[in-house]
Amino acid sequence: MNSVGTWSGRPLLIDTNLLLVLAVGLVRRDQVERFKRTSAYEAADFDRLVRIVESAGRLVTTHHVLAEVSNLGGQLSGRLRTQFFEVLRQLAVEQLEDESPPSPAFMKDPVFTRLGVADTAILRIDGSLGAVVLSDDLGLYLELTTRGIEAVNFNHIRTATTG
């Protein structure tokens, strides 16, 4: 699987869990496996994400995803928590472009009751951006592909590069 070719030079939207892995790994790579909210991932997953981000044309997000990442990362303690917020701020200011849809519009989508705010907002990102969505959330991934929105399931990348 040539996964990097899928988004090389294109806008990339990274879903909540993966953006959290990226931010935690940028603080300390070894924390990816230690922090309870990212412990399902390995340091190698962080490395994969870094390669993906480096190949993307630009990174887009929604303020809903950023809020979730902030809340989850805020569960770190002490100096790690402070460093996490510094990294998240730097990502948000220097690399991430907010493409959030208006909340009342996307919350009318019937899938909202199944996927929640952040995922439904991702579904409503302006298609003219040409963004690829990177997620490990099967429900979101399936909904994106059903709607004809280009998405990559990170678990497929993990499987293809570890086995």
Phi, psi of 18 (to 5 degrees): -75, -35
Nearest to 52 by CA among 93, 1, 115, 121: 1
Band (8; pLDDT cuts 50, 70, 90): confident
CA separation, residue 109 to residues 18, 38, 61, 116 (Å): 24, 29, 19, 10
Angle of helix 63-73 relative to helix 112-123, nearest 10 degrees?
A: 110
In DSSP terms, which residues pair with 60 in a beta bridge? 13, 97
- What residue numbers bound the domain in which 99 lies? 3-162
- What percent of the chain stands above pLDDT 90? 73
- Token match 């280009």: residue? 150
What does the pLDDT read at residue 21? 98
**Cα(61)–Cα(15) distance, rounded to whole angstroms?**
8
Pairing state of beta strands 96-98 and 58-61? Answer: parallel
For the chain, the domain total comes to 1
Instruction: Write down the pTM of the prediction.
Output: 0.91
User: How far is it between the farthest Cα atoms of the chain?
Assistant: 44
**Cα(131)–Cα(125) distance, rounded to whole angstroms?**
9
Q: Which CATH number is 106's domain given?
A: 3.40.50.1010
**Cα(88)–Cα(73) distance, rounded to whole angstroms?**
9
Question: For residue 33, how many C-alpha atoms fall within 13 Å in the half-sphere facing its CB?
Answer: 7
**Cα(12)–Cα(33) distance, rounded to whole angstroms?**
24
33 in Cβ contact with 146 (< 8 Å): no
At 81-139, the pLDDT tens digits run 999 999 999 999 999 998 888 777 888 899 999 999 999 999 888 666 788 999 999 99
Among 9-13, 42-46, 48-52, 112-116, which is the least confidently predicted range?
A: 9-13
